Amino acid sequence: MRIYVTRAIPDAALRRIANALPAARLEVNPEDRTLSAVELREHARGADALVCTLADRIDRALLETLAPRLRVVATFAVGYENIDLEAARTLGVRVTHTPGVLTEATAEIAVALLMACARRIVEGDRLIRAGEFRGWKPLGALGHSVYGATVGVVGAGRIGRRVAETLRRGFGCDLLVYSRSRRPDWEEELGARFVDLDAMLEGADFVTLHCPLVDETRHLIDAAALARMKPTASLVNTSRGAVLDEVALVDALRRGEIAAAGLDVYEREPRLAEGLAELPNAVLLPHIGSATHQARNAMGRLCAEAVIAVLAGREPAHALV
């Protein structure tokens, strides 16, 4: 049996696979970069199991090349918009992902970005390093308080819930939620109000995105949506870059249509929309939502268990297909 891993993942996960399947040939891409489509196809050829990342495009053409030998694709991510699930289903390839174990890590980054926008933390850091701190002043670097603010949450999944809880319980925020389905537990436990997108955008002091990228959420936050936000509001995105129209965001930030944006994800990663990196009111992180030792080890463990289960003929946990 051959298992191909497209990118180095935590050692413990590789050891777990090697121990459980000692006769299998386990190969890991030795280069610290995403493979091109051609490289991926060549390296994965003849694999019984593929461990991939969100940066690998697992499309029908690739799956047709690798099936029927390929039995499982275990993606080292919770998001799976890079995988053609329908093709996998018709070709009999199982697909698994890693939900649950990166909820806290990603929620932390969303709250950190929200705070950084609210209190202009990165701007302040830059000012100090540029030697421009001339001492305390009454009107210097004023931001917006998070305490008691109204927060708009897009998407009522696990990560959105953790962010909502943190801001409600820790900061007394009011919650406006836009989501496909209404969640009575959010209403009862967090006092959240489920509203339509326009009402959420117009009422929120902070908007934080936690929905998956699907056809209906692509560019959900476009120029018109940004124009509905308060000029004092900040937007945070830790979901997927394409939920937001990044070019429209650059325009909105430039024109002061909104106060700030905190982004961990981008439409064309690792590229950024032109002008974004020059904006002082944009806080930009390199897709590190799940980048804690704890979360990444747990993600590795779930991938390893999925591969082991499928190759042993068992049902994997967290199967998408």
Report in angstroms how near the CB of residue 212 gets to ligand DGY at its nearest.
9
Instruction: Determine if the peptide bond prior to 270 is cis (ω within 30°).
Output: yes
Burial zone of 144 (CB within 10 Å; 0-12 exposed, 13-18 middle, 19+ buried): middle
Residue selected from 13, 257, 290, 300 as contacting ligand DGY according to rule CB under 6 A:
290
Q: Which is nearer to ligand DGY, 155 or 289 (CB)?
A: 289
Footprint (CB under 6 A) of ligand DGY, residues 7-36: none
Q: Does 289 bind ligand DGY (CB under 6 A)?
A: yes
Q: Are strands 49-52 and 25-28 parallel, antiparallel or unpaired?
A: unpaired
Q: Does 163 bind ligand DGY (CB under 6 A)?
A: no
Q: Which is nearer to ligand DGY, 64 or 81 (CB)?
A: 81
Q: 146 with 169: CB under 8 angstroms?
A: no
Residue 275 CA to residue 273 CA, distance in Å, equals 6
Q: Does 50 bind ligand DGY (CB under 6 A)?
A: no
Sheet architecture: strand order including 2-5: 25-28, 2-5, 49-52, 72-75, 94-96
At position 57, the amino acid (one-letter code) is R
Q: 94 with 72: CB under 8 angstroms?
A: yes
Q: Which is nearer to ligand DGY, 79 or 275 (CB)?
A: 79
Q: Does 154 bind ligand DGY (CB under 6 A)?
A: no
Report in angstroms how near the CB of residue 194 gets to ligand DGY at its nearest.
25
Report in angstroms how near the CB of residue 89 gets to ligand DGY at its nearest.
20
Q: Does 217 bind ligand DGY (CB under 6 A)?
A: no
Report in angstroms how near the CB of residue 32 gets to ligand DGY at its nearest.
17
Footprint (CB under 6 A) of ligand DGY, residues 73-102: 77-79, 102
The size of the chain, in residues, is: 321
**Catalytic residue numbers, as ranges:** 240, 269, 287
Residue 116 has φ and ψ, to the nearest 5°, of: -60, -40
Burial zone of 36 (CB within 10 Å; 0-12 exposed, 13-18 middle, 19+ buried): exposed
Q: Does 54 bind ligand DGY (CB under 6 A)?
A: yes
Report in angstroms how near the CB of residue 180 gets to ligand DGY at its nearest.
19
Q: Which is nearer to ligand DGY, 40 or 78 (CB)?
A: 78
Q: 230 with 71: CB under 8 angstroms?
A: no
Total site size for ligand DGY, rule CB under 6 A: 7
Q: Does 160 bind ligand DGY (CB under 6 A)?
A: no
Q: How far is CA 199 from the centre of its chain?
A: 24
* Residue keyed to tokens 């020059």: 278
Q: Which is nearer to ligand DGY, 6 or 290 (CB)?
A: 290
Residues of this chain that bind ligand DGY (CB under 6 A): 54, 77-79, 102, 289-290
